[in-house]
Amino acid sequence: MFELKLKNNTISLKWGTWAMREFCQTYNLTLERYFEALAETQKDIDKIVKIFFIGYKAACISKKEEIIYTELDVCEWIDEIGSIYVSEGQLVEYFKYILSTINVNVNDVKDTEKKKASKH
């Protein structure tokens, strides 16, 4: 889980299968197109806001907490941490976190496929 540290609060953000699925459904993407869309996200303010909001919702669901914040709140968080134009900081670190979860998931699939192949 990623912890977004604000001046007066810390917001948990989670990215995993549920978040990937939610993002794909929001934008009507196939899994293949999902990876392309992630690469293009820095050019699309709506996708940036959605990625933060979906991560927030996923963390709430995972922790069995009520979803109390809105996309407007997400925009305020982004403004507080330095906007979408920063080249370092929490926004960049959150995207690195998302990419790290994808690498783990892809590596797990590759390891499983190798194990299956070695059994035959």
CA–CA dist 104, 69 (Å, integer): 29
| Closest C-alpha among 57, 73, 75, 77 to residue 65 | 57
Cα separation, 14 vs 35, whole angstroms: 17
Q: Provide the whole-model pTM.
A: 0.79
Q: Token digits for 36?
A: 């392309």
Ordered by start, the domain boundaries in the chain are 2-119
Read off the pLDDT of each residue in 83-107 and give the average, rounded to a whole number.
Answer: 74
Residue 117: pLDDT over 90:
no
Contacts of 27 (CB under 8 A, 6+ apart): 37, 47, 50
- If one compares 10 and 113, the residue with the highest pLDDT of the two is 10
The token pair at 38 is 């992630």
Using DSSP's 3-state secondary structure scheme, residue 1 falls into coil
The residue type of 119 is K
pLDDT of residue 100: 87
